[in-house]
Amino acid sequence: MSLDAMLADLEELVVCESFSSDHEAVARSARVVAAQGRRLLGAEPETAVIGGVTHLRWSFGTPKVLLLGHHDTVWPIGSLRQHPWSVVDGVARGPGVFDMKAGLVQMFHAVASLPSPAGVTVLIVGDEELGSPTSRPLIEASAASCEATLVLEASADGGALKTARKGISRYELLVYGKAAHAGLEPELGVNAGVELAHQIIAVTQIAEKVESSSRAGLVSVTPTLMSAGTSTNTVPAAGRVAIDVRVPDATAQRRVDELMHELTPHTPGARLELRGGPNRPPLDPSASAGLFEIAGRIAGDLGMRPLDGVSVGGGSDGNFTAGVGCPTLDGLGAVGGGAHAAGEHVIVEEMPARARLVAALTSHVLDGGSR
């Protein structure tokens, strides 16, 4: 595989910005990704626009292996001005280069190197960074008919594969009170800000109440975005807080959900409304164990350094594929670091080797060796 060709393809993807919340930008990116896939895979993709978001899928024959990725990024349009595309001293930089446009390039070149793509499905979605609200059914349906899913998300530190991921739940807690003049008659109001403070404290105590069925102590329930009130001289009539939940297993995820729904008002006259719930199921180590063992043997055959496997707190679409029972191995994409941050980068010399690993692992499954 030609590193120069891969870098040219990577530059093409990175300079086409694809902020998840900008549907027009995601559509433009999808056209660029589709053209690259068309050139390397020799086939037109199926384009699915769901809820305004553009997703791409290539299917070759009876599906056995799903190669999964996303082309949207967390970087707002215009980020290229502060973080331009560059390759200096073997390090590529630019918005989305690590998460996960280099993975897409490696995916395309891996499939292009196969004697035949028969049995391969390539799915590239456009809303992963938002939790895949429109693409989840497409992901789950694609994985359900396959024997293995290989996720080209970026690797963990040092190129480690991601053999387990926490499940994710997302909530928004709304608090309703009653407005009043803060100076003249505050006693006539019901302060939603004060109630919100009580609820934030209650939410932070939920993790301590949850005992994970297998890995206790790895539950996090974190209030994030919050607001209350409309002016400095008015008792707040409403408030809200977003809550991020990470859990190691389904039992913990269900228990957190139960406790979130058991929250009750502390302030007389206040009212609560809870929105949201579980978003991604956990990716259990058992879903990746077999594929990780095979990948390790293949890496040795290819002369690569031994592979490490780690559990991470962040979620991916691999959570969904594992959730429908498809063996899933994640983190097969770029080696580098700094995802979602100014230091995002890719070690370019690793790209051809990682693509060869994906190609060999895909061939192994196609030949009947998924376990």
89 is catalytic: no
Closest CA to 104 of 128, 127, 70, 80: 70
128 is catalytic: yes
Catalytic choice (128, 153, 249, 330):
128
Q: Which amino acid makes up residue 361?
A: L
Catalytic choice (9, 11, 72, 147):
72
Bridge partner list, 154: none
Cα 264 from Cα 74, distance rounded (Å): 35
Q: Which amino acid makes up residue 280?
A: R
Q: Three-state SS across 67-79?
A: EEEECCECCCCCH
Please enumerate in sequence order all residues whose Cβ is within 8 A of that of 185, keeping only pairs 6 or more positions apart, or say none.
none
Catalytic residues: 72, 128
